[in-house]
Amino acid sequence: MSDPHTNPVDPGRSPSLDELQRDADDLSGTILKIHSEIREALGGIRQMREAIESFSAQRLRDTQARLDEVSSTTENAALEILNGLDRTLAMVDELQVGIGPDRRPPGEVCDALRAEVNHLYGCLQFQDIVAQQIAGAGALLGDVETRLVAVAVLLDGSRAWKGPSNRAAPPAERGSGAYNANASVRDVAGRQALIDQAFGTARNGAGAGAPRQPG
């Protein structure tokens, strides 16, 4: 018995109409099966894309917002420091010119100079705040990276994930307790006033129930 599927037709012989019909039917079935599998895969990819979009887009927006704040914090601090340096130089000039009818006494200028330098010290606090903001942004990006790698592994299981990329571990990876992702220099005076109020209320509310409270 000859089987046209396992025994190819004699190259010298043209396939019969029945054979061609059978082959066409087989091909059609195979194409339908492939089409259905592709549709299924596309559906899965679409769902995955939507999941990635909703997860990543928000985090990337948050990252962008934090980096914007880093930028403005840095710029404001730099401007404040530059202004302070200008005032400092002006006072050095004042000291150099010496005493005159409309000049401040040198002791007064020195005090003002000292206050200005101390103010410049204070301005440098931006470094700590920016470091925490960047750690927060790094943590968000690390989150997105982990999610994208997981998706990549799903799409190509043969490529096992070997951990995060070779970047140096940012502070974010040293533990989220080591930074405050919401660190900000905005409205410090207003927030300090609210803190004082909340702190006072909380301490009064805690009263004797709070262990080892002062007062």
Distance set, CA 16 to CA 3, 8, 20, 181 (Å): 13, 12, 6, 75
What is the total count of residues that contact other proteins (CB under 8 A)? 39
Residue 212 within binding range of other proteins, rule CB under 8 A: yes
Residue 191 contacts other proteins per CB under 8 A: yes
Q: Are 188 and 123 in contact (CB under 8 A)?
A: no
Render 24-88 in DSSP notation, one character per residue.
HHHHHHHHHHHHHHHHHHHHHHHHHHHHHHHHHHHHHHHHHHHHHHHHHHHHHHHHHHHHHHHHH
Q: Which of 59, 113, 126, 138 binds other proteins (CB under 8 A)?
A: 126
Q: Does 110 bind other proteins (CB under 8 A)?
A: no
Task: List the structure tokens of 78.
Answer: 């730099």
Cβ nearer to other proteins, comparing 31 with 194: 194
Take residue 15 and report the two structure tokens written for it.
Answer: 């396939």
Q: Does 207 bind other proteins (CB under 8 A)?
A: no
Interface characters, 18-57, with other proteins (x: CB under 8 A): ----------------------------------------
Q: Is the CB of residue 170 less than 8 Å from the CB of residue 138?
A: yes
* Cβ nearer to other proteins, comparing 23 with 196: 196
Cβ contacts of 149 within 8 Å, gap of 6 or more? 161, 164
Judged by CB under 8 A, does residue 128 bind other proteins? Answer: yes
Q: Rule CB under 8 A: is residue 155 a binding residue for other proteins?
A: no
Judged by the rule CB under 8 A, the positions of this chain that interact with other proteins are 118, 121-129, 131-132, 174-175, 177-180, 182-185, 188, 191-192, 194-196, 198-199, 202-203, 206, 210-215
